[in-house]
Structure 1
Amino acid sequence: MANMSDDPGDPQPDTGYDDTGVPTFESVREKIENRFETSIGAQELDAETPEGRTVEKQYQDRQRAAADRLEQIRASMRDDEH
C-alpha cells in the first residue's frame, strides 16, 4: 500500500530553489521583504525607547546647529563682499 505522498502527481512543497539549486525569484523577494519589514519594525521600536528619542533629539540639535553655523558663514561672506 503506497502513501499518498509517494504519488508522483502530488505537488512538491516549494523549497525556494529550482531543480539546479538556484533560488527562485519568489524566495528572494520574500527574503528581501522580510528583512525590510524587520528593519522598519526595529526603527519604530528604537524610536519609542528613551535612548532612541535621545539620539533623535541629538541629531535634530546637530542639524539645527549646523544650519545656524552655515547661515553665520554665509552672512560673514556677504559682509566681506561689501
Structure 2
Amino acid sequence: MPDQPSDEPEIVGEILPAESAPPAPVETGYTADGVPTFESVREKIENRYTTSIGSAELASETTEGRTIEAQYDARQRAAAERLAQIRASMSEKADEGP
C-alpha cells in the first residue's frame, strides 16, 4: 500500500452509479394504435393558426400587402354597388308586375 498521510481516511470499495428511474415514455402525439391524440391535433391547429396570423400581419406591413388590401377593398365596394344595382332592378320588375 502506498504511503498515505494519517489524517486522510483510506477509501475502500467502488463507486456505483445511482439507481436511475426508468425513462419516461416519449410523447409522440399518437396512441399505441397510431391514432393522433387530441392534444397533438389541438397543438397542430394552434400552431398553424398563429403562424397564419403572424404571416398576415407581416404581409400587411409590406408595400405589396397594402396594395393588395386596397385592391380587395375596391373589389368589395364594386361588388356591393353591383349587388345594389341588381336588387334595384329586381324591385323595379316586381313593381311592374306580370
Pairwise same-fold verdict (TM > 0.5) = yes
Match of 2:81 in 1: 68
Supply the RMSD in Å over aligned alpha carbons. Answer: 2.4
Match of 1:44 in 2: 57
Once the two structures are TM-superposed, the CA of residue 78 in structure 1 deviates from its matched residue by 5.7
Residues 1:53 and 2:63 are matched in the alignment: no
Once the two structures are TM-superposed, the CA of residue 23 in structure 1 deviates from its matched residue by 1.6
- Gaps of at least 5 residues in structure 2 are 1-15
Sequence identity, in percent?
Answer: 61
Q: Aligned equivalents of 2:43 and 2:33: distance in 1?
A: 20
Q: For CA contacts below 8 A with separation 6 or more, give which structure has more relative contact order.
A: 1
Q: Aligned equivalents of 2:61 and 2:75: distance in 1?
A: 20
Bigger-Rg structure (1/2) = 2
Question: Which of the residues 4, 11, 24 maps onto 2:24?
Answer: 11
Provide the TM-score with structure 2 as the length reference.
0.61
Provide the TM-score with structure 1 as the length reference.
0.71
- CA deviation vs aligned residue, 1:22-57 (integer Å, no higher than 9, x gap): 221111111111011111111111111111110110
Once the two structures are TM-superposed, the CA of residue 65 in structure 1 deviates from its matched residue by 2.1
Question: Per residue, is there more helix in 1 or in 2?
Answer: 1
Task: Count residues in correspondence.
Answer: 79
